[in-house]
Amino acid sequence: MTVATLFGRYFAWHYTTGLADCLRLVANFLWFGYHFFSVPVITRTLFSPWRRLGESYRKGFDPERILETLIVNILMRLFGFLIRIIWLMLAFSVIILIFSLGICVAVFFFLAPVVILGSFIVGFYLLFLA
């Protein structure tokens, strides 16, 4: 196998299968971040009480107990909403970070052979001709 054939096959692999694998890897990291933070579950249970804490309504008519139970349940739902919103903001920040780093990795992967070849050419030029 000649050197030209080797480089030709490498560039063909790099810009077809290798680039597709790199993009698939970035997609896997995005999937992991999305599911690590349980985004679907958190959005479905956004208004649920925090850790299922709350009071149950007792039988009978006692306005003080009803109002007390209502206030505790509303506070637990508000606290659960606040915690879940903070968690979703963190999740989306991490997902945006993963996406940004994924774009940087894909661009680096796309340009790596050209940069390496250019570095060798510039290095030989500076070593022998300058």
Is residue 77 classed exposed, middle or buried when 0-12, 13-18 and 19+ CB atoms within 10 A define those classes?
middle
User: Residue 79's pLDDT band (boundaries 50, 70, 90)?
Assistant: very high
| Averaged pLDDT of the chain | 90
Alpha helices in 37-62 (DSSP H): 39-44
pLDDT the model gives residue 130? 67
Tell me, yes or no, whether 20 lies in a domain.
Answer: yes
pTM of the model: 0.79
What separation, in Å, do the N-terminal and C-terminal C-alpha atoms of the chain show?
34
Domain for residue 89, yes or no?
Answer: yes
Closest CA to 48 of 8, 22, 89, 79: 79
Structural domain boundaries, residue 114? 3-121
For residue 128, is it within any domain? Answer: no
Q: Does residue 63 belong to any structural domain of this protein?
A: yes
Domains contained in the chain, number? 1
pLDDT band at 69 (very low <50, low <70, confident <90, very high): confident
What is the sign of the dihedral through the CA atoms of 63, 64, 69 and 70? positive
Q: 110 with 80: CB under 8 angstroms?
A: no
